[in-house]
Amino acid sequence: MGLLVLPFFLTTFGLILLLATSPFATPWVDRTASELDRALTSAMARAVTPDWARREMELALATGDFDRVQTVALVAAEHGLAPDPDLAARIDTLEAEITGFWASARTCGSCIADIAQCPSVAMIATCGLPVELTPVGDLNALRRAGWAAATGGDVDKIDVTLAIVGLGATATVVITAGSSASVKAGATSLRVARKMGTLTPRFSGELSRVARVDLKPKKILPYMHGTATLDEFLDTAKLARLQDVTGDLTRVARNTSLTDTLVLMRYVDGADDAARLARLSDIRGARTSSTLAVLGKSRVFRTMVKLTDVALATAALIYAAVLQVVLFGANAVGSACLRGVRRLI
């Protein structure tokens, strides 16, 4: 009998020792950079098949989504897949319609004036961002808001606040010294993403709360003319909180590109997602966008973490202990039934 219960007691003793370390308090840990890169590369290799490439390309072409066409073509090429002649001809036709000289000339001016009118990410990079990344883009946002305030229209206070952060970072007079360029990149990506409609509703709400800086719309034009100070225009102490929001997005832009960041914003539902996206971009670099486009946000973010070895060992011991109890009980019941049958015989 003692030998029968010895394995159970040993398992239970080991389980008690592991439970004493609270293994399920923080059961999940981040994968190392090399582990994550290997896991995502393997997942991409399984997902990107000839059938996937053709199906996704057909869908992108049917909807005229040139950005998606470029993404699928890039991912397919990375995995040694080329479109058949029919698809290649359709891709060339769509590309000519979007990026041809006359088409570009026709849309570039409106894209510069309002980046939300850009028909593709490529056009944003060519026509919109070169302006938005300079103080001209921020001043243009203030001009629109000033006109709205002067004529009784609605003022986009978040757009104005982000423009002020961008201007301040450019002039190195707002927020912090030494990180102004990163603040500018983050603020610009947020402002442009809002105009493009790539911010999720949840992140838009979080941004609205952080961007409450007691803005006074009537002071926009006086501030632009130099007759009002920034302190009269808004609360500069509250303005500084936006630096935390833009920091992770700056990392994403630095590791990928600002145009990729604008597209990747659709995967961000809050500050935690922004931090995960920044870490992912540290590891995947320019492949960040294609990785999320193929595997999806949920799968990628789940892959970024793993169960700790202690949690796995504890779960295994719990399973072993339960199994031993079941087997012991089954053995006892079986023996009792056998004895009963023998007495009847």
Which residue has better confidence, 97 or 278? 278
CA 248 and chain centroid, separation: 10
pLDDT of residue 281: 94
Residue 155 reports pLDDT greater than 90: no
pLDDT of residue 294: 92
β-pairing, 305-307 vs 28-30, is antiparallel
- Using only the alpha carbons of the chain, give its radius of gyration: 29
Which residue has better confidence, 135 or 69? 69
β-strand partners of 305: 30
Residue 131 reports pLDDT greater than 90: no
Contact, 48 vs 57, CB < 8 A?
no
Over residues 40-69, the mean pLDDT reads 91
Global pTM value: 0.69
Nearest to 156 by CA among 140, 169, 167, 168: 140
300: pLDDT confidence band, cut at 50, 70 and 90? very high
Contact, 145 vs 220, CB < 8 A?
yes
172: pLDDT confidence band, cut at 50, 70 and 90? very low
Residue-level length of the chain:
345
Residue 178 reports pLDDT greater than 50: no
